[in-house]
Amino acid sequence: GQNIDQPTEMTATEGAIVQINCTYQTSGFNGLFWYQQHAGEAPTFLSYNVLDGLEEKGRFSSFLSRSKGYSYLLLKELQMKDSASYLCAVRDHSSASKIIFGSGTRLSIRP
């Protein structure tokens, strides 16, 4: 089976940096995703990591350590619009490559 853990809620200040951690346990690993989801909307893709290391994409970066079963999403220069839920998701190694989501981290940005 799979188990994905991330903090339930975080708060940060506009203009600052925040790191959202995700740990996972899976019987077969084939990549880790980060998604952003605003209330009432579908998730939007942020990043995908399958190899160890840091992937940078603008203000957002994602890091993966497969040996530790650990990932983080780093958000820089926070803006009020970054207030959302951030979902960590793991893809398994089956033929279907299904994607299982963590419970999500609700990030609140204060001025």
The secondary structure of residue 80, as a DSSP letter, is G
The CA distance from 2 to 19, in Å, is 23
Q: Answer yes or no whether residue 100 interacts with another protein by CB under 8 A.
A: yes
Closest distance of CB 47 from another protein, Å: 10
The secondary structure of residue 40, as a DSSP letter, is T
Q: Answer yes or no whether residue 103 interacts with another protein by CB under 8 A.
A: yes
Q: Answer yes or no whether residue 64 interacts with another protein by CB under 8 A.
A: no
The CA distance from 5 to 7, in Å, is 7
Q: Answer yes or no whether residue 31 interacts with another protein by CB under 8 A.
A: yes
Token pair, residue 19, equals 């790191």
Q: Answer yes or no whether residue 51 interacts with another protein by CB under 8 A.
A: no
| Interaction site with another protein (CB under 8 A) | 31, 33, 40-45, 48, 50, 87, 91, 96-104
